[in-house]
């Protein structure tokens, strides 16, 4: 069991703030970036309003070889939604029916000319070892294996 651990990440996106905010609140868009490639994102619910629920399952695809078919469910709840500047939500990851990870995520969006500065602050209130490591292992396999595809995708966009 971990004490509270925190992460803060910031990035500037070349997109208007309303669009970045929409990418976080419209489930059809969230579905396209939340899970690594090779992992299907099944979003049952992503209701971006205070009290709204999050209910999704990430499912490992064939590309993940021995992990194919693994399910990584996550549930949560939106605590604060201030369009277009702030989101706060809880997340609980479940593995083999047990809660292994609990976190509180705050996302803020600042206009920066025609760009958006986004800050994600995550407080991990519970991380059960080694199970939480297992879940990350699966995700890591997903993104490592798909890194070539991402590079290819970015090159096509240019």
Partner 1 sequence: MNPVTFSALAEPNRFQIVELLRDKPRAVGELVDTLHIRQPQVSKHLKVLADAGIVEVRPLANQRIYELSPKKFQEIDAWLEKYRKLWIERFDRLDALLQREKQKGVKKVKSSK
Which residues are near partner 1 by CB under 8 A?
2, 5, 7, 9, 11, 13-15, 19-20, 23, 29, 32-34, 36-37, 66, 96, 98, 118, 120, 122, 124, 127-134, 136-137, 139-140, 143, 150, 153-154, 157
What 3-state class would DSSP assign to 51?
A: coil
Does residue 75 contact residue 54 with C-beta atoms inside 8 Å? yes
Q: CB 41 → partner 1: shortest distance, Å?
A: 10
Q: CB 148 → partner 1: shortest distance, Å?
A: 13
What 3-state class would DSSP assign to 102?
A: strand
Q: CB 135 → partner 1: shortest distance, Å?
A: 10
Between 75 and 131, name the residue whose CB sits nearer to partner 1: 131
Report d(CA 95, CA 99) in Å as an integer. 6
Between 51 and 156, name the residue whose CB sits nearer to partner 1: 156
Q: CB 51 → partner 1: shortest distance, Å?
A: 25
Between 51 and 157, name the residue whose CB sits nearer to partner 1: 157
Between 50 and 133, name the residue whose CB sits nearer to partner 1: 133
Report d(CA 27, CA 24) in Å as an integer. 8
Q: CB 45 → partner 1: shortest distance, Å?
A: 19
Query: CA distances (Å), 144 to each of 17, 36, 77, 140, 147, in order?
Result: 30, 9, 30, 6, 5
């Amino acid at each position: 069991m971990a004490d509270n651990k925190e992460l803060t990440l910031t990035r500037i996106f070349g997109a208007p703030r309303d669009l970045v905010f929409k990418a976080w609140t419209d489930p059809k868009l969230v579905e396209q970036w939340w899970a690594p490639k090779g992992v299907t994102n099944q979003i049952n619910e992503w209701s971006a309003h205070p009290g709204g629920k999050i209910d999704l399952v990430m499912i490992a695809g064939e590309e993940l070889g021995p992990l194919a078919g693994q399910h990584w469910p996550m549930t949560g709840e939106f605590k604060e939604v201030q369009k277009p500047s702030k989101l706060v939500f809880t997340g609980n990851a479940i593995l083999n029916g047990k809660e292994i990870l609990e976190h509180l995520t705050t996302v803020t969006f600042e206009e920066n000319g025609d760009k958006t500065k986004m800050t994600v602050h995550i407080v991990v209130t519970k991380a059960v070892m080694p199970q939480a490591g297992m879940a990350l292992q699966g995700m890591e396999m997903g993104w490592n294996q798909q890194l070539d595809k991402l590079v290819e995708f970015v090159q096509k966009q240019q």
